[in-house]
Structure formats: C-alpha cells, structure tokens
Amino acid sequence: MPRHSWQETHRSQFKTERNCRRDCGWIKVTRHDAGPGGVPWTEWWRGGERLQVGGHTPACEAVAAVAA
C-alpha cells in the first residue's frame, strides 16, 4: 500500500495538521482538544471534509494517479 509522505506541520493550540508531500489531497489532523488528561486522536480530511476518524491510515493515492 502506498504510504504518505507527511510534511508541513501546522501546529496550533488544539490540533496539528500535516499535508502529504505527494499532493494526494489527504490531510492528517491530530486533535489535542480533548481537555486535560484527554487522549489525542487522529482525523483524516480530504477536500474540506472529515472522512475518517482514527483507524488505519488511508492509502496514498497520488502514486496510483501517476501510474495511470
């Protein structure tokens, strides 16, 4: 499975965003706003929509697009 190459970490008080170097459109967001003692969680965004919360990392589709 193709893997993302995360770059450009944008860290703010409540979340950290990472874009994929391959420009596949996925954004990995780590949320820190669970409150004191809360456990951070990961969200996966694409096209301005939150498509997944937690779970496995979505495949990086940029490589497949290049191959096609």
Give the footprint of Zn ion on this chain (CB under 5 A). 4, 20, 22, 24, 60
Estimate the share of the chain in helix, then strand, then coil, as percent rounded to the nearest 5. 10, 45, 50
Do 12 and 2 touch, CB atoms closer than 8 A?
no
Provide the minimum distance between the beta carbon of 57 and Zn ion in the complex, in angstroms, as a whole number.
9
Decide whether 10 or 38 has the Cβ nearer to Zn ion: 10
Decide whether 15 or 61 has the Cβ nearer to Zn ion: 61
Decide whether 13 or 49 has the Cβ nearer to Zn ion: 49
Tokens 């950290």 correspond to 16
